[in-house]
Amino acid sequence: MQLNQDDESEENTEVTWEDQQKISLFSKLNSRCTDLEEKITKQKSEKEALDDLAMELELADEDEPIEYKIGETFFRISLKRAQELLLKDQESAEADINNLQSKIDDSQREMKDLKVALYAKFGKQINLD
Protein backbone atom coordinates (compact mmCIF):
# COMPACT_ATOMS: atom_id res chain seq x y z
CA MET A 1 0.00 0.00 0.00
CA GLN A 2 1.35 3.41 -0.95
CA LEU A 3 0.72 6.72 0.71
CA ASN A 4 -0.07 9.71 -1.42
CA GLN A 5 2.11 12.80 -1.04
CA ASP A 6 -0.34 14.54 1.31
CA ASP A 7 -0.26 11.61 3.73
CA GLU A 8 3.54 11.52 3.64
CA SER A 9 3.81 15.24 4.35
CA GLU A 10 1.41 14.88 7.31
CA GLU A 11 3.62 12.18 8.81
CA ASN A 12 6.67 14.41 8.57
CA THR A 13 5.14 17.39 10.38
CA GLU A 14 7.61 18.63 12.95
CA VAL A 15 6.37 19.40 16.45
CA THR A 16 7.81 22.72 17.56
CA TRP A 17 8.14 24.06 21.08
CA GLU A 18 5.19 26.37 20.40
CA ASP A 19 3.11 23.38 19.31
CA GLN A 20 4.02 21.56 22.51
CA GLN A 21 2.96 24.61 24.50
CA LYS A 22 -0.39 24.70 22.69
CA ILE A 23 -0.96 20.99 23.33
CA SER A 24 -0.04 21.43 26.98
CA LEU A 25 -2.36 24.43 27.32
CA PHE A 26 -5.18 22.46 25.70
CA SER A 27 -4.65 19.66 28.22
CA LYS A 28 -4.66 22.10 31.15
CA LEU A 29 -7.85 23.76 29.89
CA ASN A 30 -9.50 20.39 29.41
CA SER A 31 -8.64 19.42 33.01
CA ARG A 32 -9.86 22.79 34.26
CA CYS A 33 -13.19 22.30 32.47
CA THR A 34 -13.62 18.89 34.07
CA ASP A 35 -12.90 20.32 37.53
CA LEU A 36 -15.23 23.26 36.98
CA GLU A 37 -18.01 20.99 35.75
CA GLU A 38 -17.70 18.94 38.96
CA LYS A 39 -17.88 22.14 41.02
CA ILE A 40 -20.89 23.39 39.08
CA THR A 41 -22.70 20.08 39.65
CA LYS A 42 -22.04 20.35 43.38
CA GLN A 43 -23.14 24.00 43.44
CA LYS A 44 -26.34 23.18 41.55
CA SER A 45 -27.25 20.51 44.08
CA GLU A 46 -26.61 22.99 46.91
CA LYS A 47 -28.84 25.50 45.11
CA GLU A 48 -31.58 22.88 44.76
CA ALA A 49 -31.35 22.17 48.50
CA LEU A 50 -31.69 25.90 49.21
CA ASP A 51 -34.71 26.10 46.89
CA ASP A 52 -36.30 23.14 48.67
CA LEU A 53 -35.64 24.80 52.02
CA ALA A 54 -37.28 28.01 50.79
CA MET A 55 -40.42 26.04 49.92
CA GLU A 56 -40.39 24.39 53.36
CA LEU A 57 -40.04 27.77 55.06
CA GLU A 58 -43.17 28.96 53.27
CA LEU A 59 -45.08 26.37 55.27
CA ALA A 60 -43.42 27.18 58.61
CA ASP A 61 -45.22 28.84 61.51
CA GLU A 62 -44.28 32.52 61.77
CA ASP A 63 -44.29 32.43 65.57
CA GLU A 64 -41.80 29.56 65.84
CA PRO A 65 -38.08 30.43 65.70
CA ILE A 66 -36.13 28.72 62.93
CA GLU A 67 -32.79 27.00 63.47
CA TYR A 68 -30.54 28.40 60.76
CA LYS A 69 -27.02 27.12 60.16
CA ILE A 70 -24.33 29.75 59.80
CA GLY A 71 -20.91 28.20 59.41
CA GLU A 72 -20.82 25.24 61.80
CA THR A 73 -23.36 26.61 64.27
CA PHE A 74 -27.15 26.69 64.35
CA PHE A 75 -28.86 29.89 65.47
CA ARG A 76 -32.50 30.39 66.43
CA ILE A 77 -33.85 33.26 64.37
CA SER A 78 -37.22 34.54 63.24
CA LEU A 79 -38.86 33.13 60.13
CA LYS A 80 -38.55 36.47 58.34
CA ARG A 81 -34.82 36.71 59.10
CA ALA A 82 -34.32 33.08 58.01
CA GLN A 83 -36.04 33.82 54.70
CA GLU A 84 -33.85 36.90 54.19
CA LEU A 85 -30.67 34.91 54.85
CA LEU A 86 -31.88 32.09 52.65
CA LEU A 87 -32.56 34.51 49.80
CA LYS A 88 -29.00 35.86 50.08
CA ASP A 89 -27.64 32.30 50.10
CA GLN A 90 -29.71 31.44 47.01
CA GLU A 91 -28.46 34.54 45.19
CA SER A 92 -24.88 33.74 46.17
CA ALA A 93 -25.24 30.15 44.93
CA GLU A 94 -26.71 31.37 41.63
CA ALA A 95 -23.86 33.87 41.22
CA ASP A 96 -21.32 31.11 41.89
CA ILE A 97 -22.96 28.88 39.28
CA ASN A 98 -22.92 31.71 36.71
CA ASN A 99 -19.27 32.48 37.52
CA LEU A 100 -18.26 28.83 37.11
CA GLN A 101 -20.21 28.56 33.85
CA SER A 102 -18.49 31.69 32.55
CA LYS A 103 -15.09 30.16 33.31
CA ILE A 104 -16.10 26.96 31.53
CA ASP A 105 -17.28 28.95 28.50
CA ASP A 106 -14.01 30.91 28.38
CA SER A 107 -11.93 27.73 28.61
CA GLN A 108 -13.99 26.02 25.91
CA ARG A 109 -13.60 29.01 23.58
CA GLU A 110 -9.84 28.93 24.07
CA MET A 111 -9.79 25.15 23.55
CA LYS A 112 -11.73 25.56 20.31
CA ASP A 113 -9.16 28.06 19.02
CA LEU A 114 -6.32 25.72 19.97
CA LYS A 115 -8.06 22.80 18.25
CA VAL A 116 -8.39 24.77 15.03
CA ALA A 117 -4.71 25.71 15.06
CA LEU A 118 -3.45 22.25 15.98
CA TYR A 119 -5.70 20.35 13.58
CA ALA A 120 -4.72 22.77 10.80
CA LYS A 121 -1.08 21.87 11.33
CA PHE A 122 -1.25 18.19 12.31
CA GLY A 123 -4.48 16.99 10.73
CA LYS A 124 -5.18 13.35 11.57
CA GLN A 125 -1.91 12.98 13.46
CA ILE A 126 -3.39 14.54 16.58
CA ASN A 127 -6.53 13.71 18.53
CA LEU A 128 -7.87 16.39 20.86
CA ASP A 129 -11.27 14.87 21.64
Q: State the CATH class of domain 20-125.
A: mainly alpha
Predicted pLDDT at 81: 94
- How many beta carbons lie within 10 A of that of residue 111, not counting itself? 19
Block means of pLDDT (10 residues each) for the chain, 129 residues, are: 47 87 97 98 97 93 88 92 95 98 98 95 89
| Distance of alpha carbon 74 from alpha carbon 51, whole angstroms | 19
Predicted pLDDT at 70: 85
Please name the residues in contact with 47: beta carbons below 8 A apart, sequence gap of 6 or more.
Answer: 90, 93, 94, 97
Predicted pLDDT at 11: 65
Predicted pLDDT at 62: 87
Say what the pTM is.
Answer: 0.80
Predicted pLDDT at 92: 97
- CA separation (Å) from 129 to 30, 87, 111, 122, 126? 10, 40, 11, 14, 9
